[in-house]
Structure 1
Amino acid sequence: MKKVRLCQLSDLADHQTKGIQVALPDGELDVIVLRLKKQIHAYLNHCPHLGVPLNWQPDVFLSLEETHFQCSTHGALFTLEEGYCIVGPCSGQSLVKLNTEIDDQGAVYLISKQ
């Protein structure tokens, strides 16, 4: 297993998202990081319907109400905790959830099998 540092927990306010490009040996990942209280949720920035990035502009991934991730292309809505699509053409599909870990100093890591 490999750990790749994404950010510090303190870099994100509660309910804030950030897009991070992660370099891995076999390519680059476009990652969405969301802080909900003291938890981090991370997903690939990739709509399961069209394969396009979700964000409207840099670091903006949430619906206007900030209750769901929203695809900028067709408006599909995804739950924050699971990445499950509840509205839109990809209804029933999910964003690809990534494993993360937060160390004692508040550093957030992506946990990769590579």
Structure 2
Amino acid sequence: MSMLRESQIMKIHYITGIAALFVVAVHIMMRLIMPYNMSLEYENVIANYHNLPYAILLESILVLIAIHGFNGLRIILLELRQSKSWEDGVTILTIAAMMAVIAYGTRTIIVANGLGFE
């Protein structure tokens, strides 16, 4: 099942981890502009989604964290057992879960931006 070598998968893991550190740091710095309790108000949250550069930042956080997190989960599960069928099953399930999380998070960003499906 594995189309990539494990060393390539680990490079993806490291790159997404480093990139996630960068975009989350930018996200936190953006939150310092406004008091925390105000940043949680509905109007301010929706305003963030209407700010296209910030919405892109949130989407990149979503994608990077999902890839990094589910790859980490995959690595942990592969350490539990070593067999070809286990590796294939874990890989398929983690990729499917990652894609579902990204799809649902992207849908949330689109709906909150007012371009939604409702």
TM band (smaller chain): under 0.3
TM-score scaled by length of structure 1: 0.25
Q: Comparing both chains, which one has the higher relative contact order based on Cα–Cα distances under 8 Å and sequence gaps of 6 or more? A: 2
Q: Which structure has the bigger radius of gyration?
A: 2
TM-score scaled by length of structure 2: 0.24
Higher helix share: 2
